[in-house]
Amino acid sequence: MKSVFFFADGQAEGNAGMADHLGGKGANLAEMTNLGIPVPPGFTISANLCLEFLESGKLPDSVVAEIRDAVDRLERATGRGFGDEENPLLVSVRSGAKDSMPGMMDTVLNLGLNERSVAGLASQSDNPRFAYDSYRRFIQMFGEVVHGVTDHLGQPNRFVAALNDLKLKRGVERDIDLAPDDLKELTQLFKEIYKSETGSDFPEDPWAQLVGAVEAVFGSWNTKRAIEYRRIHKIPHDMGTAVNVVSMVYGNMGEDCGTGVVFTRDPGSGENRLYGEFLINAQGEDVVAGIRDPEPIERMKARLPQAYDQLLQTCDLLEEHYKDMQDVEFTVECGKLYLLQTRSAKRTAKAAVRVAVEMTAEGMIDRRAAVARVSAEQLDQLLHPTVDPSAPIDLLTTGLPASPGAAVGTVVFDSDRALELGEAGLDVILVRRETVADDFPGMVAARAILTSRGGMTSHAAVVARGMGKCCVAGAKEIEVNEQKLCFTVNGLTVWEGEWLTVDGSTGRVILGKVPLVEHEASDDFATLMSWADDMRMLRVRTNADTPADAARAREFGAEGIGLCRTEHMFFESGRIEAMREMILAPNEDGRRRALNKLLPMQREDFLGIFRAMDGYPVTIRLLDPPLHEFLPHDPLELEDLSGELSLPRVDLERVVAELTETNPMLGHRGCRLGITYPEITEMQSRAVFEAACQARQEGVDVHPEVMVPLVGDVEELSSQERVVRETAELVFGEAGIRIDYLVGTMIELPRAAITADQIAQSAEFFSLGTNDLTQTVFGMSRDDAGRFLPSYVEKGLLRSDPFQSLDQDGVGQLVAIAVERGRSTKKELKIGICGEHGGDPSSVGFFHRTGLDYVSCSPFRVPIARLAAAHAAIDHGAVRG
Amino acid sequence: MKSVFFFADGQAEGNAGMADHLGGKGANLAEMTNLGIPVPPGFTISANLCLEFLESGKLPDSVVAEIRDAVDRLERATGRGFGDEENPLLVSVRSGAKDSMPGMMDTVLNLGLNERSVAGLASQSDNPRFAYDSYRRFIQMFGEVVHGVTDHLGQPNRFVAALNDLKLKRGVERDIDLAPDDLKELTQLFKEIYKSETGSDFPEDPWAQLVGAVEAVFGSWNTKRAIEYRRIHKIPHDMGTAVNVVSMVYGNMGEDCGTGVVFTRDPGSGENRLYGEFLINAQGEDVVAGIRDPEPIERMKARLPQAYDQLLQTCDLLEEHYKDMQDVEFTVECGKLYLLQTRSAKRTAKAAVRVAVEMTAEGMIDRRAAVARVSAEQLDQLLHPTVDPSAPIDLLTTGLPASPGAAVGTVVFDSDRALELGEAGLDVILVRRETVADDFPGMVAARAILTSRGGMTSHAAVVARGMGKCCVAGAKEIEVNEQKLCFTVNGLTVWEGEWLTVDGSTGRVILGKVPLVEHEASDDFATLMSWADDMRMLRVRTNADTPADAARAREFGAEGIGLCRTEHMFFESGRIEAMREMILAPNEDGRRRALNKLLPMQREDFLGIFRAMDGYPVTIRLLDPPLHEFLPHDPLELEDLSGELSLPRVDLERVVAELTETNPMLGHRGCRLGITYPEITEMQSRAVFEAACQARQEGVDVHPEVMVPLVGDVEELSSQERVVRETAELVFGEAGIRIDYLVGTMIELPRAAITADQIAQSAEFFSLGTNDLTQTVFGMSRDDAGRFLPSYVEKGLLRSDPFQSLDQDGVGQLVAIAVERGRSTKKELKIGICGEHGGDPSSVGFFHRTGLDYVSCSPFRVPIARLAAAHAAIDHGAVRG
């Protein structure tokens, strides 16, 4: 087995297909060489050796021989000698795994320098300053990177300290103000430091330098940081990293030299023009050190016209070859262009869409590739305003990025105040420890919601995402004082009325007003999405509770409603009163009187939703939350309610206390309400069917689907189904028309999944409620998980938040069981999913594979789900059309 | 297919093995006839016809012919004529399904009477009063039972009203004071009522009477009550009922006649002597009507010596034949004994044990039959005092029978008061809405616990059962006012200090002091249990948290501890303080200081438990409940604690508020505590291993098993396992000895069951926590289920409380998955169950079938589990030894 892959002069032993062995960087260096693109000669040591080295602690003799041979070839290719005192061969040594991975050893430059060869470099470049500066940097880098000389207790390491001392002694501020002799003196000082830190002399032998650096690269595969990174990003631990050894070229040898980075297209807008920066007479390091500001790439045309033309041609060649936008590093040494790296360029969502569509128009890629190339998760950027990345910010803290977008407003601490100021036209940010159902009107009125408690699927997060409203949740450094109307964070206090900027895409909480950038959906976006729609198998519905949400979701491409939560309609003022009357009624008669008040309101809502979803199915879930969510708990509100209802305060408090639950998530909710109070199910069914009949009379194509929540046993479902069907018959009789409708259930309890074959006997459809299913399968309350999930992620116990991305090992197995057993009873059972995971790309892939009919998600995630569904179809070779 | 089975004169077409077709009653009548026991001739119409009749609405012609033939044979056997005016054949018609079942048509007597035959009966019996009384009763019964003439709006039906009118008119009080002519008049009146109620004439034709009665019996299979009963008792709906038509014999034709009921042994004590009652010159009805009091059976010897001797012989014959104690109905007509029914007798647990053991000694049955014959559930009676069944009681309300036994005491409403009075030697009953961990000391001090909220597995119920202490939970008619120190129930108020009797076996709450009956375990009990132990495959451990519980459980036969809840040790005074200090500590150092105080106490507990369980394994669960359970919530207590800890009240309240959880069941508990605070796991492990080392040095044979709770992912378990094993190594190093120990986990979350193959990689044993598994699989909080479970049971949606008896369809499937997947990774994985279901007989059967190694239950249920395990082994042909 060959371990070392040489490349030089248009011929490489590797190619782009060998990234498993050569790493991304090495494979592309080989590929470019083969393409005839000027790349400095060099060789790549295969990643296969990495684990072998880590096991045995030494490089096999055969490999050492191969490296020796490669160095010989490199000497021949460059005409230089390794350690030569006149024409020294100097190399860079870099790690390069298949997946780009921080935490590993980065770069050692100028390897090959020693007391003899530094003189050669000085005379050859006619620049002793440059030569000794390179040498002292190499000693430092070798000490730091290869031997781990580090800072101690916050003090800079001894190399840096020595440099600073010398500058102080010489009375200069900048490194470059030191004289060549100063630098030469420094090399000696550095070698002493090296010896005292490592216990051995600095290796004069370039060969020893090289072996040391290669071993250090291999060793860095198993640093704690690298292991952690792989665990989090699910990169296998047994891949290893390759090592790239490349002959040095210098961009800092004069005015006909330079270095730069370019993108083959604009990574921000996607525009097809070269985009980047360069610097005359400089090395990459100088840019990083901030010594000089780089210039826009266009200016290179005037400064280095020949190299610029060559760069343009090379970029075209690379794009044409890789069929994708590239991110390229180059150096010009004495007028000659060298490519040091090329890779697929990172880009904004906007750019990704434009590049994909334009490349398809250019005939470079096909539609499938175009669709595959735009990340679904990234689309979020296109649908929400973002914080201007160029604006300076005063970051207070970071919470969970619970609902994307950014917003600016003044701080308020309660829902009523938010409503009052919001209705007065002010931009407010609602800040609370956590939100409850009561806060809904204030959340609607606010620009953004910020909570100090709760996770990605806390009430605040779920409701905000449903509205497409910015939300940062669980910002646990914040202590909210709702009495004093302020919050404190890291010693700073923010009072009601102060300006705040909240970034729900990143979780940032920023003091003051920061400019925002709005994005608009382009024609390219529409084009790409239409291609995606043609490819996907999964239908995409939305979770929407109001006609306005339904209409908006339809604009985003929703093909029906997968979840309409009827309870949200009850929180509005004018309705909550009747709802409370119902809850507090002493008997069925009283409940029916209150329900009769709610009936016309609920019917009106459904009618609006049916109109908005003309031609599409609308799944309406029966009342789900525990009744106490509708009652006030605050003493003042209780007093008010007691007055309104002429119910003595003590009786009211008794009812509130009686309804209080230890674990409301596992309490009297879902179909359990409809079973104890069938009149609620009756009223809701009547509202659905009356609205459906009226819609039909208006000419609307209406497809109601009534969904029974929290079913654990088929008997629960069939008991509720009976009430729904009997009510439907009554209404159809009264209206003189019939509407086709379905009755089905949420599958959101483990027992429902396990007994899905029984449940399917009474269900015409299943909708997987993966939010609650995740809570019950893990035994983890999403409202309370904030207390321990962070330490899970910190300790690497959890690969991802199961409330964001479906836990395929656990919850996913129950989903698969539900699908398989449900369809074993009813082959054509319609099955969808309406949990938060419906808008998560990796989960959408899972749902595609599991054979679901549709996913349903919040309106703003509909485009993401559409694209993710297309990706799933492409990945599994099941593209439609 | 034959449909009618005749029996007379020592020859029957059926037998005891045909209960599926003939029902229990009919099969035994046939069997007795074949045995030569005097049974009135008759025939049974097969239950097979029942469904056919219900389908078609009429009896097939062939069956009618068979019945005609049977009546002919009956006429020949009795020498009487059906409808004959001189010597009429009269019959009773009774339903009789395989399983005894209320709700179906019961009995029509004297069928065959009409205007002509009544005269025959009068002259034959020389008793016109008797004849016309029989006739008017028959008309009434036929109207009521066959044609459903019923009471209206609380008024007695018209037959009863007419009888009452006539008595008023005649100025008499009792039925028997009416003259024969009055009764004759009444028969005419009754026929008019019959016609006006049913729209047709009363059938004079005996044949029409018979067909009507048979059809009514078949029809009664599908009354609402019968269907409901079958659903609740899991009796199949497609069995149908048989109909028994038996020639009448009369115990009321003179002083040489009588009727009675006897048990072949004493059903209370099990003593081998005839036990029962009889009445001279009477029919069964007279006993029911309470007109005369029956006499003890012994007196029959003097009154009807020949019949008595015959009865004794018959009882011996029946026992010998059926190999079981019988419950027999008989009638003596003119000195001649007739057996009307025999069946296996109901008996108390005490009797069951004695009868089983004595019948084995008598050689009647073998040990296996003896063990099989005693119901495990019934054993509870033997282990707890019960309310004296003969004492009058003033029943206040009925709650859930949460923990068996009965207790008398004065009412208190808080734990401290219970402790104070309890320690002063008073008997108190602790009454609370629901109990929390804080109430533990008060629960220990109380004789019984009564709560108005919570289900069979609420905190109160679980803790009480663990202590073998009487508890009635969820008595929802009770409103507890803990401020005013009283509770009200149905308008009555009971104040602190009043006497109450609580019956945890039946759920009764009784005002005042009622005498209790103590039971003592007999030698027979010990004998039977030793037989059971020889047969069972499942080991039986106990859930015990203290040395005292452990010792008691061992007396009950426990073979180790399956669950030691370490947190219970923290609630004791002197410990809770250190626990609170730990919880409120601002950092790890503070927590470690507090934990160091807890270490010696915890070690001492473990040492005591190891000593008590010398030679047996002890499974110790790491800290499980959420930390807020250890903090006070009451303002006064908070004030005290604030003083004790010198922590400002406001800071203390902040911590308490921060720790409050929305769904504590799904919150920061179980291994999640040990993961965020590994120092807790460290302290507990240290206590376990230090105690184990010390026990070993004392010569105790110690087998600790450390159990990690609430694991959902193998990473959680392995992270805790590491802490446990590292601590073990440290302690073993310090002590200079090694102890064999196991590390395992609870399987109590659906995800743990589903990923059991992964979890088994880090686990040496599984313990199925079916309490929490039931909660998460159903998505049902046991503390909150009281609000809706009753209406589930009422509506027949739930066959049984899944917290009492394992839900085999849902939870059971996950148990089976956990066992199968766990053992797929580790073939010899030790698996037990430590949920409440470990003491439930039907669940124990399931665990046996699923291949578990042991069950663990509260000390008082250990004998029940031992017996149930033996039953499971017998039922599945896998008896040991």
Q: pLDDT per residue over A776-787, tens digit each?
A: 999 999 888 877
Cα distance between residue A205 and residue A222, in whole Å: 27
Phi, psi of A431 (to 5 degrees): -110, 125
Distance from CA of A515 to the nearest CA of B (A): 35
Separation in Å, CA B551 to CA A650, B468, B544, B725:
49, 13, 9, 29
Comparing CA positions, the residue from B624, B704, B694, B714 lying closest to residue B664 is B624
Which positions in chain B touch A787 (Cβ < 8 Å)? 661, 667-668, 676
Comparing CA positions, the residue from A697, A704, A509 lying closest to residue A605 is A704
- Amino acid occupying residue A163: L
pLDDT at residue B152, rounded to an integer: 62
Cα distance between residue B678 and residue B852, in whole Å: 31
Does ipTM top 0.85? no
Nearest to B754 among A663, A665, A810 (CB): A810
Which positions in chain B touch A712 (Cβ < 8 Å)? 777-780, 810
Separation in Å, CA B661 to CA A458, B445, B655:
13, 29, 12
In a 13 Å sphere around the CA of A682, the CA atoms on its Cβ side amount to 14
Rg (CA), chain A: 33
Cα distance between residue A265 and residue B470, in whole Å: 79
C-beta separation of A414 from A482 below 8 A: yes
Mean pLDDT, chain A cut into blocks of 10 residues (881 residues total): 93 95 96 97 96 91 95 96 92 91 79 94 88 92 84 73 90 84 93 92 95 92 83 81 95 88 90 92 67 83 95 96 95 95 89 96 96 89 83 91 90 91 90 86 91 80 81 91 91 93 93 86 91 97 93 95 91 86 92 96 96 98 94 84 86 86 94 96 98 98 98 96 97 97 98 98 97 96 83 76 91 98 97 93 95 94 95 84 51
Comparing CA positions, the residue from B404, B494, B491, B383 lying closest to residue B449 is B404
Q: Is B73 exposed, middle or buried (0-12, 13-18, 19+ CB in 10 A)?
A: middle
Question: In A180-289, which ranges are continuous DSSP H helix?
Answer: 180-198, 206-219, 224-233, 284-289
Cα distance between residue B347 and residue B365, in whole Å: 18
Q: pLDDT per residue over A326-340, tens digit each?
A: 999 999 999 999 999
Cα distance between residue A682 and residue A690, in whole Å: 12
pLDDT at residue A878, rounded to an integer: 67
Q: How many CB atoms lie within 10 A of CB B302?
A: 8
Which positions in chain A touch B811 (Cβ < 8 Å)? 751
Distance from CA of B700 to the nearest CA of A (A): 38
8 Å CB contact of A776 and B781: no
Among the listed residues B384, B834, B837, B871, the single catalytic one is B834
Phi, psi of B221 (to 5 degrees): -60, -30
- pTM, full prediction: 0.82
Among the listed residues A21, A459, A703, A848, the single catalytic one is A459
β-bridge mates for residue A831, sequence order: A766
Separation in Å, CA A157 to CA A100, A149, A164:
28, 7, 11
Query: Which parts of chain B sit beneath pLDDT 50?
Result: none
8 Å CB contact of B750 and A750: yes
Distance from CA of A332 to the nearest CA of B (A): 51
For residue A794, what is the nearest residue in chain B, using CA coordinates? B676
Nearest to A675 among B784, B785, B795 (CB): B795
C-beta separation of B544 from B564 below 8 A: yes
8 Å CB contact of B788 and A668: yes
8 Å CB contact of B810 and A716: no
End-to-end CA distance of chain B: 45
8 Å CB contact of B666 and A779: yes
pLDDT at residue A103, rounded to an integer: 67
Average pLDDT of chain A is 91
CA angle A39, A43, A47 (to 5 degrees): 125
8 Å CB contact of A755 and B783: no
8 Å CB contact of A776 and B780: no
C-beta separation of A27 from A14 below 8 A: yes
Comparing CA positions, the residue from B43, B48, B35, B39 lying closest to residue B5 is B43
Does the active-site annotation cover B50? no
Cα distance between residue B785 and residue B775, in whole Å: 10
8 Å CB contact of A666 and B791: no
3-state secondary structure of B498: coil
Nearest to B751 among A665, A778, A788 (CB): A778
CA B778 to chain centre: 23
Nearest to B667 among A672, A784, A813 (CB): A784
Which positions in chain A touch B664 (Cβ < 8 Å)? 662-663, 784
Q: Which two tokens stand for residue B694?
A: 């010390």
Which positions in chain B touch A781 (Cβ < 8 Å)? 661-663, 665-667
Distance from CA of B659 to the nearest CA of A (A): 9
For residue A814, what is the nearest residue in chain B, using CA coordinates? B754
Which positions in chain B touch A785 (Cβ < 8 Å)? 667
Separation in Å, CA A73 to CA A3, A89, A92:
15, 11, 16
C-beta separation of B342 from B32 below 8 A: yes
8 Å CB contact of B810 and A663: no
Distance from CA of B483 to the nearest CA of A (A): 13
Cα distance between residue B589 and residue A568, in whole Å: 47
Q: Is A589 exposed, middle or buried (0-12, 13-18, 19+ CB in 10 A)?
A: exposed
Among the listed residues B21, B384, B459, B703, the single catalytic one is B459
| B interface test, pick of A484, A627, A788 with most B CB neighbours within 10 Å | A788
Return the residue matching tokens 């980075």.
A261
Which positions in chain B touch A779 (Cβ < 8 Å)? 665-666, 710, 712, 748-751, 772, 776
Does the active-site annotation cover B471? no
